[in-house]
Structure formats: C-alpha cells, structure tokens
Amino acid sequence: MSLLAANSHQERIEHLPGHRVALAEDAPLRLTSGAELSPVTVAYQTYGQLNADKSNAVLVCHALTGDQFAAETHPVTRKAGWWSLMVGPGRVLDSDRFFVICANVLGGCMGTTGPADLNPETGEPWGLDFPVVTIADMVEAQRLLLDHLGIDKLLAVIGGSMGGMQVLEWAAKYPERVGAAIPLATASHHTAQNIAFHEIGRQAIMADPDWEGGAYFRSGKKPRRGLAVARMTAHVTYLSEPALHRKFGRRLQDRKGLSFGFDADFQVESYLRYQGKSFVDRFDANSYLYITRAMDYFDLAEDYGGKLAAAFKDSPVRFCVASFTSDWLFPTPEAKRVVHALNAAAADVSFVEIDSDKGHDAFLLNEPELHATLHGFLSAQCERTGIPTAPLALIEESEIGESEERVT
C-alpha cells in the first residue's frame, strides 16, 4: 500500500518498515516535566552489523522533522533517506564496519511514542494531553533502546541541528557510554531568534481552525494550512540567502512576465508552497508543536548550574564540533560557545567551521570537507577502539543531484 495515502496515523505506523520495541513497560519513563510514560515505544532502523564485543555502534540522532529512515528510500515520501550521503557502505558512517542505529525521537510521529499515538488511558490519540518532552527525554528513550540492545558504549553519537542537541545531552549525561560525540550545526541552547521562528510555526498551526485545540483526530481533518505555513517559515531559515539566490533568484515560475495577481509568480514562491504542502502529508501537526517545544526548552548550561563547562567536567568523550559559515540559524558563534566550554572543561575537542553557502541544511548535503573531517575523526576513534578503518567511497553525481533538495 502507499503509506502516503494511509487513512490514519495508526494505519501508517503499523505498516512502516523497520523495528519497533515497547520499552519502560515495568518501570515508567519519568520525564523532565515529572510526568511518566509507560510503555515507551521506540521505532528505529539499523544499518550494518553489531560486532561481537558490541563496540561498533553509532547512534544517529535526527533533526526536527527527520526520522529513523536515515539511509534508505523513505517509506512515505519514496525519496532517498535524509542522511544517505552520510550513512551506508563506504560512507562516513560506514555500514560495512559500523552498526548504525537511528531512532525516531520521543514525541515524533513515525512510530516512536508521540501525541498522535493512542493514550492508553483513553484509547484516543493523546493530542495535547501528551506530556511536553525535552531533548533530555528524547535521549532517555534512546538510552532505553541501547539498554534493550545490550549496547553499553557507543563508538560515536552524531547528529545535526536538533540531532546535535541530543549529542550534547548524551555526552553530558552519559559520558561513560559515549566514545565520540559529533554535534553538527547546533547549539547548547535555543536563542531568542530560534524560539521566535518556532513560535511563529506553532501559532500558524494553532491558528488553523482544523487544529481544533489539538484534537483534530476527532474530525478526521488535519490543520494542513497552518502546518504548511509553519513548514514554509522553518524552511526559509534552513537555507542561506546565497543558496536561495542560486536556486531561484527572481526567476519566474512557468511564465514570461509578472501576473499582477497573487498566484506564485516567482519560483521561490512555488517551491515554498510545494514544500509546505508535501510536508503535511508526512508529518503530524501536534508532533511539530512538541518537538519545536523540546528544542526551545533546550539549555544545557541551565541544567548544570548555568555553567556549560560543568556539563562536560572530566569528560572522557572525544568531541568533533562543526558549523557552517552560512548557517544563520545555528551560526558559528553558537558552536564556538560549545567549544569554549569543552576547552574550559579540558575535554578533547576538534572544531571545524566548514565554508559553505548552503545554510543550516549543509549538514544534510554534499559537503566533501565535512565528510573528510568526520571520516578522519572517526578513523582515529576506530584506531583507539580496535575497529578497522577504510577509505571513503566516492559519492555518485546522481546521488548528489538527488540530495540537493534535502531539508532538515
């Protein structure tokens, strides 16, 4: 069946490929808010084989609208996985050598427990009765999964954007379970501007009458228009002005002159409308509210007495932090704030600012300098851990082309 056309969230989830496991069945997961969840279902995907001593596991943490399908044709959109340039045979996260795990985050809508799932107490979808979750709660759900898989220590944990927040949280909370931590295009807290853009998205969703206070599952409608506007807003923040200029400039869409109307005259308008509409087919509006909230709430220093360096005190973890010159959502100064804290904590840290005009989403795209840096960093980690190294495979032009449209 086409999962794009699934009649309900439940129907779609049932037919998703990959793994799903119910965790926290005996002892509920206590969330940051104090609320408790039991069970916590985690949907995840793996690439490669876990070695005998379980030392080759790499956890990939996804961004706001990502999911567990990092490196395969996406079961709903039928597009290549969001990190297929990074994960696979001969890639930076080489599935011939590593056991790569990617789990849908808590609060998500691709099989891990979230607001679209059934509340066991009512038998109805949770909607806004779902407890607000944090980045730390997402990490706890992943930790339950690792316990379930019997993996004591990760070779590495890696992610960009919100994925990078999870990486930082992992390294801070479970330093003994993380060999290397690779936070990309991220920050140790959400800034006022970050919060502002998220709030616009939430207001757009909540302004849509079809949202119905979060209980849209009752009418069978979806707040399509509000969620599309939220997506459009976020989308613009993921791109740099040079990238938008290169892609679209002021070129007109299928017309020779201005229409003097409100149709999409410009290609960039048409593109944004398409991005908004297609997003609605694969994402749950309430999940969008919860996950943006989790990002807004993230403030790692706050959890350690206001001192970010305290989060990494005596850390045995090796860090590789990367930012992109044209990323204005998580700009280099935010990455440097993390690096300074790591330096202050005398942690082992490499930092690279990648020269790219692709904006925040550069971490998803073909950035050879990023790939080379991470490959080098991980090779050193392999040598320390007794895992074989291998050269990076060449990425095919066709794959790069396909990936150009990729977004967070």
Residue 399 interacting with its own copies (CB under 8 A): no
Nearer to its own copies, 207 or 346 (CB): 207
266 touches its own copies (CB under 8 A) = yes
Please, what sign has the CA dihedral across residues 158, 164, 167, 171? positive
**C-alpha span between 26 and 235 (Å, rounded):** 40
Measured from the CB atom, is 292 or 373 closer to its own copies?
A: 292
In the complex with its own copies, the residue whose CB is nearer, 32 or 77, is 32
Instruction: Give the residue with the Cβ less far from its own copies, 232 or 311.
Output: 232
Active site residue 314: no
Please tell me which residue in 161, 323, 326, 403 is annotated as part of the active site.
Answer: 161
The phi, psi pair for 399, rounded to 5°, reads -70, -40
196 binds its own copies (CB under 8 A): yes
**Which ranges constitute the DSSP H helices of 68-134?**
none
The yes or no reply on residue 304 touching its own copies (CB under 8 A) is no
Binding mask 318-337 for its own copies (x = CB under 8 A): ----------x--x------
Q: Which DSSP string corresponds to 125-155?
A: B-GGGSPP--HHHHHHHHHHHHHHHT---EE
- Does position 193 interact with its own copies (CB under 8 A)? The reply is yes
What's the longest Cα–Cα distance across the chain? 67
Instruction: Candidates 12, 189, 222, 282: give the one binding its own copies (CB under 8 A).
Output: 189
Has 327 been annotated as catalytic?
A: yes
Q: Is 288 in the site for its own copies (CB under 8 A)?
A: no
List the one residue out of 196, 172, 167 whose CA is nearest residue 182.
Answer: 167
CA distance 201 to 208: 11
Say if residues 337 and 187 touch (Cβ distance below 8 Å).
yes
Q: Could you give the CA distance from residue 318 to residue 282 in angstroms, rounded to a whole number?
A: 36
Parallel/antiparallel/unpaired status of strands 57-61 and 99-103: parallel
Phi, psi of 88 (to 5 degrees): 150, 175
Q: Does 263 bind its own copies (CB under 8 A)?
A: no
Question: Using CB under 8 A, which of the segments 5-13, 36-44, 54-62, 222-230 binds its own copies?
Answer: 222-230
Contacts to its own copies by CB under 8 A? 32-33, 35, 128, 131-132, 189-193, 195-197, 199-200, 202-204, 206-209, 225-226, 228-229, 232-233, 236, 239, 241, 244-245, 247-250, 258, 260-262, 264-266, 268-269, 272-273, 276, 289, 293, 296-297, 299, 328, 331
**Which residues have a catalytic role annotated?**
161, 327, 360
